Structure 1
Amino acid sequence: MSTRTHLGTEMHLEGRQWRLDALDSGQQAAVEKAAKAAAPIRRGEPVDITTPTYAPLMSALSKDGRATAIDIADQVGLPASTVRRQLGRLLKAGALAMRCELSQLHTRWPVSVIWWCRVPKPLLLSVVARMRAEPRVRMCMSMTGPANFVVFAWTAGLTDLMQLQGVLEDLLPPGALIDSSVTLRTRKRAGWLLRPDGRLDTDSPQPAQ
């Protein structure tokens, strides 16, 4: 048994940007407009999350991403008002991001696939643009190694998977799609154990984050 490490160099699309496709484009635009009007966010100064100020907050959130400021304050021994202010700074700096996960098996895309590709530099922008426009793609990233580009997608089944693979192959030179991995059941997501139906397994002890 062996392992290989790939270092990500640029994230082009990631899970929190993915949409379930339950809303049409007009509804999505209305929600985004309302969110910006209610709480416009201007990017703040970068924050070092390893400092004693922020590391305890990040540790608490890694165990429960839905913890309130009061919950976190009880754990770190600070006033809730201080925690709220620190969380606000983390959000404005982009060190924290909101993300809602769901049980994949309860969507119309129950089968996961990862493709490792070798994308020539002149084609990178066009490949990224096409992957961003594809609703089945949840993540694509440039990385180091023989395969310099990875695509992660949810598909309706193996036929749908092969159709999407054909789309990707049409964008690339012959032989540039190096490898693929199909997942029929996901046992862990974002460090959390899942039940067979894809929901969080609250009855089992979760690993340290």
Structure 2
Amino acid sequence: MTDPASLLDLLDRRLVCALQLDGRAEPGRIAGVLGVSVRTVTRRLARLRESGVLKVVLMPRAEDEAVGALLLRVRVLRGRVAAVADALAARPDVPFVDVMLGGQEVSAVVVTDRAGRDRLLYHQLPGTDAVTETTVHAVLHLFADAGQWQAGLLTPDEVAALTPTRPTPTPPHRIELDPLDHALLTELGEDARRSQAALAAAVGAPESTVRRRLHRLDAAGLLRTHATIDPRLLGLAVDANLWLALPPGRLAEAGRLLAGHPQVHGVLATSGPHNLMATVFCPDYAALFRFTTEVLGPLGADRVETAIVGRAVKRAGVRLNRPATF
């Protein structure tokens, strides 16, 4: 069996890291920082994107949408998990779906209004004979989301050079979005690396107008991007959800500490018997053990549940392709 991580070499992975910092970074800028030719960067990125291995999309406005979102843990009859995972992944209000190791649990994030929530929880899931149990946690606070995570293959100087300099974001509710703004956001939601010329052609507006609108949207914090890729291709074979029960007095500090850890790609305070959930990437199980003992241990959790992701189905609104040779 081919090791998925072997499908990307070190330069491919470093290019992914560059796009994690700025999904709209131009090839010339990336090439100058990483010390390779523009042609190499252009060719490599085209190969990654055209093969479906890498997709760059707009990151949902987590600060606006995360609080009140739902974390679902759905127990499913053996042999029916793929159908349930696919049905959840097909919903536009479900940006994240994972099948957990063992094949009898689906984990999902739901961002919807009250009516959508009630239909899903009280009618659609109970009406599915494949579902045996549903556990629901409400997100109370966001410490870190997937858009902030970096794979860590760039030097501090490279990170500084590739991190975009932006003004302090204007809260999105303070700017009024017109149909042109919405059209641009829709186009970028499908492919955040579309050029200004391509965007202008797609929305039927002059390129100079598109340039001004993108600057305005960026200043409002609406152009955060997410480089979506199977973490195994970056040498991270283990993806785990960690559910912690912490004394209330330790919750905020623990969330902040975990949010700053390089292996963590999401930290949320939640309702339920576990009040903190962290998602973590590790190269292997030995590294996950070290993370559990050395990082989680000092936090003072009363108990910790470790749930291993068997297959990531959807991340940041993007269906993931299984690793393939390209």
TM-score range relative to shorter protein: 0.7 to 0.9
| Residue 121 of structure 1: how far off its partner (Å) | 2.7
One-letter code aligned to 1:150: M
Give the alignment partner of residue 219 of structure 2, picking from 92, 101, 110: 92
The match for 2:258 is 131
Give identity over the alignment, percent: 24
Q: Deviations over 1:98-131 (max 9, x none)?
A: 3334441122321100122233331123312431
Give the alignment partner of residue 301 of structure 2, picking from 164, 170, 173: 173
TM-score normalized by the length of structure 2: 0.51
Give the alignment partner of residue 154 of structure 1, picking from 261, 267, 281: 281
One-letter code aligned to 1:183: V
The match for 1:207 is none
CA distance in 1, matches of 2:300, 2:245: 8
| Residue 173 of structure 1: how far off its partner (Å) | 3.5
One-letter code aligned to 2:186: S
Cα 1:162–1:44 shift into 2, 3 Å: closer
Q: How does 1:50-65 map to 2 (within 5 A)?
A: 51-65=178-192
The match for 1:46 is 171
Cα 1:35–1:187 shift into 2, 3 Å: closer
The match for 2:312 is 186
The match for 1:204 is none
CA distance in 1, matches of 2:171, 2:256: 28
Contact 1:109 1:156 in 2 (8 A): yes
Give the alignment partner of residue 20 of structure 1, picking from 151, 157, 164: 151
TM-score normalized by the length of structure 1: 0.75
Q: CA RMSD in A?
A: 2.9
CA distance in 2, matches of 1:111, 1:50: 40
CA distance in 1, matches of 2:258, 2:211: 37
Which structure 2 segments of 5+ residues have no match? 1-130
CA distance in 2, matches of 1:149, 1:51: 38
CA distance in 1, matches of 2:223, 2:265: 19
Contact 1:105 1:198 in 2 (8 A): no
CA distance in 2, matches of 1:128, 1:72: 39
The match for 2:141 is 10
One-letter code aligned to 2:171: P
Contact 1:104 1:198 in 2 (8 A): no
Cα 1:144–1:138 shift into 2, 3 Å: same
The structure that is helix-richer by fraction is: 2
